[in-house]
Amino acid sequence: MENRATILNYGKTPAHTVFKLSWPAIAEQFLICFVSLADMAMVGSIGAFATASVAITAPVIWFINGFNTALCTAFMFIVARYIGMGKINIVHKSVRQALTASLLCGIIITIAAELIAARLPVWMGAQTNVTAPAAAYFSIVGISLFAVTVSTVVSGVMRAAGNTKLPLFANIGANILNVVGNFLLIYPERDISVFGNSIHMFGAGMGVSGAAVSTAASHFALAFFLVVMLYRKDTPVRIGLRGDYRITGKILKDMLRIGIPVCIERCSLSLGHIFLTAMISGLGTASLAAHYITDQAEGLFYLPSYGLADSATALIGQSLGAKEEKLADRFAWLVCVINIIAIALMCIPVFIFSQFVVSLFSNDAEVIYKGTQTLRLAAGAEVFFSLYIVISGICRGAGDVKIPLAAGFIGMWVIRLGCCYLLAYKFGLGVVGIWLGIDIDTVFRGVVCMLRIKGGKWKYAWKH
């Protein structure tokens, strides 16, 4: 085995290895989240219609990202497994095929997005003043969706080889470009005050379309940089321009075995969220606002879990590729313990000060009252959902994708939607019933995944 290619001894101890791999991925998740919030705030400053124009397309973009996540996960598994085996030549072939697959899938996504862009806002029930800017926004962003697919897959390939810092720094640059672009393209020319001095600032005054252009430009810049680094950065996944980029039957088979279940899982969750939002909208404006605030806050809770999940996929894939089952088991439990500690440190203060947190986003007494209840319910059960995220990453590193799929599908379409409807409407608990139903689902998923890890069969799920 070519030990220089592995990340199994990346740190002084297995725990140190997990920390060194995970912190850039966790930081990247927080960065993306906060920049997204800043992006939304800048768009929202020009009017409610602008916020609605971007928000109305969000569920569709989340749905599309399900395909990107599936393709990324498949190649993370393939690359990590072959690095663990020490088959670096096959790693390079796999990386070239990852580029081909991401480009082809990305082009299909972009074409589909452009075909539906004009009709999408109408299908989503947008009001008349939102339809045109929403269609323009989605059409412009849609042009860059193939770049999103490429950058997502290349980032995953790099993480599978243990390079988590480069995707972090690349995303920092792309997000800075996005924010600066928003500042220059959304607003018209104006005078701004800097330390008491008035400065005349250029502005294109493009509004929502300016935000779309800025976002698309950052997508292209990120993909370009990452692809260049793939050819130039000295890592186990570095490739040359020459080589066979055709997708082979073996890689295609492995890609589909991993990618299809992950795609079904991610897309079914996105569709489930659309149905759940429609259910909550029938409870009234205050309930919808309380749910939205809780949902946004919850999104911050499990950002560390996504970073840990990516690291787990790489570590488990390389460990099992090297036939180090005991080491894989040790990494799996370490990641779970670190995740529990991280989530507890975030959720306990939010649980205690939930009323204060909700009041930061609303001054409506009813929203604050309901939001306080729902945020406490979210914080109380978040550890289970975070374990579902992390253990899904562990299982994907082992090629064991069916259990997370089953847990996610049953959890969303049977338990969550069923319990939410019964508790909210039949038992009259309103939005509190919604979050009780969500908690029941998250506990179910967390317990199922923990039992899978405890049983140990996940380590032997992948058979060539």
What would the two tokens of residue 445 be? 């998923």
pLDDT of 2 strictly over 50? no
Cβ atoms of residues 143 and 295 within 8 Å: no
More confident residue, 194 or 323: 323
pLDDT of 1 strictly over 50? no
Cβ atoms of residues 310 and 159 within 8 Å: yes
More confident residue, 302 or 311: 311
- Ranked by mean pLDDT, the top range of 190-194, 269-273, 386-390 is 386-390
As a dihedral over the C-alpha atoms of residue 187, residue 33, residue 218, residue 239, rounded to 10 degrees, the angle is 170
Q: Which of 296, 375, 387 is nearest to 341 (CA)?
A: 387
List, in order, residues 6 or more apart from 380 with CB less than 8 Å away.
347, 351, 439
Tell the residue number behind the tokens 């018209």, with chain if given.
Answer: 188
More confident residue, 172 or 273: 172
What would the two tokens of residue 300 be? 């911050």
* Cβ neighbours, 10 Å, residue 220: 18
- For residue range 332-361, list pLDDT tens digits in order: 999 999 999 999 999 999 999 999 988 877
What would the two tokens of residue 284 be? 């009234």
- Ranked by mean pLDDT, the top range of 51-65, 188-202, 212-226 is 212-226
pLDDT of 4 strictly over 50? no
Q: Which burial class, exposed, middle or buried, applies to 392 when counting CB atoms under 10 A from its CB (0-12, 13-18, 19+)? A: buried
pLDDT of 464 strictly over 60? no
- For residue range 204-240, list pLDDT tens digits in order: 788 888 989 999 999 999 999 999 999 998 888 999 8
Cβ atoms of residues 78 and 255 within 8 Å: yes
Q: Please give the C-alpha separations between residue 75 and each of 68, 237, 260, 304, 458, in angstroms, as whole numbers.
A: 11, 12, 12, 22, 19
Q: Which of 373, 389, 388, 391 is nearest to 434 (CA)?
A: 373
- For residue range 375-413, list pLDDT tens digits in order: 999 999 999 999 999 999 999 999 998 899 999 999 999
What would the two tokens of residue 15 be? 């725990």
- For residue range 423-454, list pLDDT tens digits in order: 999 999 999 999 999 999 999 999 999 999 99
* Mode of pairing for the β-strands spanning 197-204 and 188-194: antiparallel
Which helix or strand (DSSP H or E) is residue 111 part of? helix 88-116
- The DSSP-derived string for 27-94 is HHHHHHHHHHHHHHHHHHTT-HHHHHHHHTTHHHHHHHHHHHHHHHHHHHHHHHHHHHHT-HHHHHHH
Which helix or strand (DSSP H or E) is residue 108 part of? helix 88-116
Greatest Cα pair distance, the chain, in angstroms, is 68
